[in-house]
Amino acid sequence: MDAKIKDVNGTAISYYDEGKGEPLVLLHGFCGSKDYWARVIPDLVKDFRVIAVDLPGHGGSGLPAGDPSIEKMAEVIKGAVDELELEKVSLFGHSLGGYVTLAFAEACEDKLKSFSLVHSTASPDSEEGKKGRDAAAGKIDKEGIESFVDGLVPKLFAPGEKRPEELQMAKEIGYRTSPEGAKAALKAMKQRADRSHVLKRTELPVLIVAGERDQIVPPEKSFAVEGPNIKQVTIKGAGHMSMYEAPEELAEAIRGFMK
- pLDDT tens digits, residue range 122-151? 999 999 999 999 999 999 999 999 999 999
User: Going by C-beta distance under 8 Å and a sequence separation of 6 or more, which residues neighbour residue 84?
Assistant: 6, 17, 23, 51
> What integer pLDDT is reported at residue 132 of this predicted model?
97
Long-range contacts of 167-173, Cβ-Cβ distance < 8 Å, separation of 24 or more: 169/244, 170/32, 170/36, 170/241, 170/244, 173/31, 173/32, 173/33, 173/35, 173/36, 173/59
The candidate with the shortest Cα–Cα distance to 53, out of 82, 100, 15, 12, is 15
Q: For 180-215, what is each residue's pLDDT tens digit?
A: 999 999 999 999 999 999 999 999 999 999 999 999
Compute the average pLDDT of residues 225-248.
97
Q: For the chain, list the domains and their CATH numbers.
A: 4-258 (3.40.50.1820)
> What integer pLDDT is reported at residue 162 of this predicted model?
81
